[in-house]
Amino acid sequence: MLDLERVFADDGPLARCVPHFRARPQQLAMARAIARAIEERRVLVAEAGTGTGKTFAYLVPALASGGKVIISTGTKTLQDQLYHRDLPTVRAALRIPVTVALLKGRANYVCHHHLQRALADGRFASREVVAHLERVRQFAAVSDTGDCARLPDVPEDSPVWPAVTSTRDNCLGAECRYFDECFVMRARRQALAADVVVVNHHLFFADLMLRDVGVAELLPACNTVIFDEAHQLPETATLFFGESVGTGQLVELARDARAEGAAAARDFQALPEAAQALDKAARDLRLAVGEAPGRWVAGQAMAHAGFAAALDALEQALGRLAVLLETQAGRAEGLANCHARAVQLSERLARWRSAEDDGSVRWVEASAQALHLHRTPLSVATIFSRQLAGPPRAWIFTSATLSVGGRFDHYCRSLGLDGAATACWESPFDYPNHALLYVPDELPEPAHPEHTERVVQAALPVLKASQGRAFLLFTTLKAMQRAHGLLKAALAKEGLDYPVLLQGEGSRSAMLERFRSLDHAILLGSQSFWEGVDVPGDQLSVVVIDKLPFAPPDDPVFSARLEQLRAKGGNPFNDYQLPEAVITLKQGAGRLIRSESDRGVLMICDPRLATRPYGRRIVASLPPMRRTRKLEEVLAFFAGGLQASGACSSPSTNHCTAQKTQSGF
């Protein structure tokens, strides 16, 4: 039996392998709880505040358990960090000879078949993309993994990637002549043989539903499943337990049918004509809802002039292509694959058009270039709870944001985790002395037409006091873009040349690198920057949030869930809207304090936090910061003159609550 107290001690094996390691009571307590859950094959929902060290807290007992472990993360970035940094560190510290494998979705690996087809086709828009293709060719010839992340000199958004990787739809499987060399199959074999396998949530759920890349084969032999960043699971499960048909999929099918026909059925002219007709029908469907992006329930979408006729035309074009592909499927594996895809998409389209009440909502989502027909379950609890059935194993769900006011009811209910054990460890960081929660006086409510202007006005003196070094997080892209123009004008008027970065000017990773490398930078972001962003130290001293992140009432799935709750006699606001907003707000607030020495101000520009009764529930879920509504106290905080009078003496205890300032709320 592993002595966890010794492992996590200041002079223990982790301290010898990890620079600046220090013993934290919360980390040890969490590791003990996870070890018990693994030993007893139980379900544990564990919230660990920022700085607890939850990654090591679950890796140590997981590696010491001696069984097969699947670790699922929220992002590919965290997946790579676990595999390349954290797991090797813990394995070396414990001196446990476990084997570890990394498994990603097939679109993350170079596909030999599609690479060769792209090289033969040679039709790319620029010399730059042709150069990218040559780099991929060279990489594939020498790589052991084919992992696209190992080729950083080809940009993530290069048009070459879709041409040289496969999807579940266009993979030829065992019929492919490169099957024995396939990077996806190699990664899958390694995962089946490994003691610890690192995946991500998207792959985990996609594979459970589609039996595609190997997770479903891993589960029977698995003793423990650990979900890190588990707050993302309800949304991810909803995505994969539903289904959709996208115009992009249809255009891609038409493209592949033309290419495969040109290679193996050049004498069958009807095939490229049918493929062209499907391409046109898919694009016409997108145009039928107008140029502006939007979301509508099925009935609203059907009310658009021409949408129903465009949908009929699409169904007919897809059906005709499927019939023609069936006649040619025997001539080549690629044509057989296209036929199977056409049949599957036809079936999905038919299910979407069905008005059958199956506990899901049918809706339409239009982006700038594409349109998706979605069928989304209103609840994933029953479906997800079935995944926990079968042979007993431990299921660990952990994140910094799972509870609301210390309770896990909402999270457990959303995933059907009845009877799960729950535990919470607050951050060891000294929030009462190092952080201030500021809700400005005299701001209008978010519905006011000048709310964004007033947010920028209220933030400006704070940004001057902090000398930039700030995130401004918005609940909508429209507000973010409006604030960007207003802030640049306001800074210019004040003679301040702080760099102002706007989400969308580059990839998220590139934006973060720019923010870290610039002095006094201010970054404006929307949903992408509310979580999974880590900027410790003095470079980030202010996080401004424009309003409480309640989901928009016109979201089709959200509205349908509220209506379902209402019909069952529940309270949509208290039972769903408020808990969802709290968890999202906790993620945004979590960007501020990332290390023991960090200091900063969390500025929430929504007076409802102070004026509405539910504001107290929200504040109780945030870290125990001191609170104020006065700008003077914020300026004093940055000047170093605001002392934490009455702050709790033991900020690491579970019941520590920061006291209000004289002018607090």
Q: Model confidence over 107-136: pLDDT tens digits?
A: 899 999 999 989 988 777 788 999 999 999
Q: Is the dihedral of CA 259, 265, 267, 273 positive or negative?
A: negative
pLDDT tops 80 at residue 647: no
pLDDT tops 90 at residue 665: no
Q: Where are the alpha helices (DSSP H) in 242-302?
A: 247-264, 270-287, 298-302
Q: What is the DSSP letter of 576?
A: I
Q: Label residue 642 by pLDDT band (50, 70, 90).
A: very low
- Sheet strands (E) in 164-293: 196-200, 224-227, 243-246
Output the pLDDT for position 554.
79
pLDDT digit string, tens, across residues 247-292: 999 999 999 999 999 989 999 999 999 999 999 999 999 999 998 8
pLDDT digit string, tens, across residues 135-146: 999 999 999 999
Give the dihedral of Cα atoms 147, 150, 152, 156; nearest 10 deg: 20
pLDDT digit string, tens, across residues 208-227: 776 544 566 777 788 999 99
Output the pLDDT for position 126.
86
Lowest mean pLDDT among 306-310, 508-512, 613-617, 636-640: 508-512
pLDDT digit string, tens, across residues 448-475: 999 999 999 999 999 999 999 999 999 9
Output the pLDDT for position 25.
96
pLDDT tops 50 at residue 353: yes
In the numeric block, the tokens 């003679």 are attached to 495
236 Cβ contact list (under 8 Å, min separation 6): 201, 202, 205
Helix (H, G, I), strand (E, B) or coil at 593: coil
Provide the residue type at 163 as one letter. Answer: A
Residue 422: strand pairing partners: 45
Contact, 145 vs 186, CB < 8 A? yes
Q: What are phi and psi of 446, to 5 degrees?
A: -60, -25
Angle 247-264/270-287 helices, nearest 10 degrees? 170
Q: What is the DSSP letter of 445?
A: P
Output the pLDDT for position 214.
54
Q: What is the DSSP letter of 366?
A: E
The 3-state secondary structure of 80-145, one letter per residue: HHHHHHHHHHHHHHHCCCCCEEECCCHHHEECHHHHHHHHHHCCCCCHHHHHHHHHHHHHHHHCCC
Comparing C-alpha atoms, which of 106, 111, 115, 145 is closest to residue 133? 115
Comparing C-alpha atoms, which of 183, 92, 192, 119 is closest to residue 145? 183
CA distance 650 to 647: 9
| Average pLDDT of the segment spanning 40-54 | 95
Q: Label residue 206 by pLDDT band (50, 70, 90).
A: confident
Helix or strand run (H / E) with residue 558 = helix 556-567
CA distance 158 to 493: 39
Helix (H, G, I), strand (E, B) or coil at 339: helix
Q: Label residue 643 by pLDDT band (50, 70, 90).
A: very low
Q: Label residue 655 by pLDDT band (50, 70, 90).
A: very low
C-alpha atoms less than 13 angstroms from C-alpha of 50 in its C-beta half-sphere: 25
Q: Which domains does the chain have, with CATH numbers?
A: 24-105+184-240+379-425 (3.40.50.300), 110-165 (no CATH), 243-377 (1.20.1440), 431-639 (3.40.50.300)
Comparing C-alpha atoms, which of 97, 105, 313 is closest to residue 207? 105
pLDDT tops 50 at residue 42: yes
Helix (H, G, I), strand (E, B) or coil at 284: helix
> How far does CA 224 lie from the centroid of its chain?
22
pLDDT tops 50 at residue 156: yes
Mean pLDDT of the chain: 90
- Percent of the chain's residues with pLDDT above 70: 95
Angle 307-328/247-264 helices, nearest 10 degrees? 30
Whole-model pTM: value is 0.87
Helix (H, G, I), strand (E, B) or coil at 311: helix
Secondary structure (DSSP) of 400-421: S---BTTB-HHHHHHHT-TT-E
Contact, 407 vs 413, CB < 8 A? no
CB-based burial of residue 187 (10 Å sphere; 0-12 exposed, 13-18 middle, 19+ buried)?
buried
| Average pLDDT of the segment spanning 370-375 | 96
pLDDT tops 50 at residue 653: no
CA distance 183 to 197: 16
CA distance 430 to 92: 31
pLDDT tops 50 at residue 389: yes
pLDDT digit string, tens, across residues 520-535: 999 999 988 998 888 9
Residue 449: strand pairing partners: none
Output the pLDDT for position 211.
57
pLDDT digit string, tens, across residues 585-629: 999 999 999 999 999 999 999 999 999 999 999 999 999 999 999
Comparing C-alpha atoms, which of 345, 338, 335 is closest to residue 314? 345
| Average pLDDT of the segment spanning 400-413 | 94
Tokens of 487: 């802030």
Comparing C-alpha atoms, which of 123, 208, 115, 111 is closest to residue 169? 111
Comparing C-alpha atoms, which of 51, 55, 52 is closest to residue 29? 52
- Percent of the chain's residues with pLDDT above 90: 76
